[in-house]
Structure 1
Amino acid sequence: MVNAFSFACSACGKCCNSPPAMSLRELFRHRDLFVGCIAIGRISRVQADDALAAALFFPAGDRSGDFLSITAQGYDYPSAGRCPALDSAGLCSIHANGKPDMCDAVPLDPLVPDSLQHRVLATRARGAGYIGADCIVPGTHADAALLVAEGRIVDASARAAVERRRTAIATERELWGRAVFDSLRASSTQGKEALARIPPGGYATISIVPALLAVAGLSAACRELCVAYIASQMALIERNVAQAIARRHLNDRPVTQELRGFLASHVRAREVLLESPAAPPVLSDRLRPIADDYFSGP
């Protein structure tokens, strides 16, 4: 297999056909634009080296030896066929105003070790979603930047974007990912069976609320952020569902059902946060300054 690939973005929009993977901090910033959810992915043990597994993932806890990634994700109707951040001209409306780190990392995958990024690029170069883009080419080319070679990410800007994304995942793994993982591990047999059915490379989505409740318990500032975020998300979900009903696409119905579930969970979470006194967990003393600094940043 070719282990060197170059990349030249043609701004064709083929990689902007759905909401990106995002950090919760990025979702807070763009709370009126992206519906947020939690994506639970299964990472094959073949694709997870020890360093990445320790920093980013959780053990799946079954005989496979696989890992689980628990990250935030933008969510929208697949029938839209475009990222919610695209403007009427098909250009990114937040390119210079908080563009998600994952978008800067594309076409690389921060969840994959650097030594296997050439496989990511080879798969994407021949994938249906990239047909006609011709942005990923094997080897070196005069009109394209060399991206990966000999098991390394050699382009400095791409390497920096991948590292920013990995740092955000590692930080949020501690701020809320571990709490979500612990709740999943303690869930019913039915819930554990649902996790076991996620194939390697696949993922399942659930409401963002478990992450919000974990973060809201870390500090008063985080609690205020979560309450404001919930209000924005409720309004956004209602708008998106109304637009989908007007489109009357049959394929939208499962997504509408899931969005209504998200909305109901937001309603319950808002009631909990507004009516119950703050009761930070024991670990909040250690995580509070980290969370306040992280979520107040850009």
Structure 2
Amino acid sequence: MSLQVQNICKNYGEQKALNDISFKVGKGEIVGFLGPNGAGKSTMMKILTTYLTADSGKAYVNEFDVNTSPIEVRKSIGYVAEHNPLYREMFVKEYLSFNAEIYGVSKNRVSVVIEQIGLSSESHKIIGTLSKGYQQRVGLAAALLHDPEVLILDEPTTGLDPNQLIDIRKLIKTISYNKTILLSTHIMKEVEAICDRVIIINEGILVADKALKELRTEEEQIIEVEFDYRVEEAFLLKLPHASKAVNTAGFLYEITFLTSKDMRPTVFDFAHDNKLKTLQLSRKNKNLESLFTELTGK
């Protein structure tokens, strides 16, 4: 197991930042680590990277205890912080060579990582002159120099334009084939596009730990339908598997069904049998954003 977190608690005075958090992340998994601002995400990441010490509980990285084996933990982790701490006055290759020396790895590794991260055309430029997207690449390159088994990425796409975001997303997917990645972000579509699983914490408490494929196949769906005149919600609850019906605007309704079967044909036939005209009909899957809102209220 690449990451193991067991009953971690962390307080700042009277405030509980983390309250009995436990989870595991296996080798090769890409896990989205989510929560509203102040939920405790960064605190958990700092504990895993040995920047902070938990008040109680245990955490392991590649079976190394973060408290008793911090050097081995740091060797196992590549960490990209939210505010990427780069030496912006240095040249890209110069900066990476400097980091390679700190890690005690071969200078040949610098050329390998530059090629892997797509920095060849920028390697002789000053970091401060690069776009935000390329600066994020430099941070990723520095985190990969010692070929860590675990990558911890804290908001790696903050401030990127749509094209840069797509580039970094592809890059993360490319480097993930033999690494474990814990990814913190506020962009739900990012998690749905990259991750295998999602962990959500709220007010220091773990409130969800789900595989993305499980979320996509949950036996709940919402059918949005517009009729040619208003009907009573109770009338729509006569539909099989219907658990909730809400008039959202005008003659538009959202009907929740507790089944994985596509209920659009059933709704269409129901409308036809009751002499209702169907002006529009669509299925709304429960997505990560709705789950996040439901569990955190934000």
Normalised by the length of structure 1, the TM-score is 0.22
Name the structure with the higher strand share. Answer: 2
* Structure with bigger gyration radius: 2
Q: Flag the structure with more relative contact order, 1 or 2, with Cα contacts below 8 A and sequence separation at least 6.
A: 1
Give the TM-score, by structure 2 length: 0.22
Higher helix fraction: Structure 1 or Structure 2?
A: 1
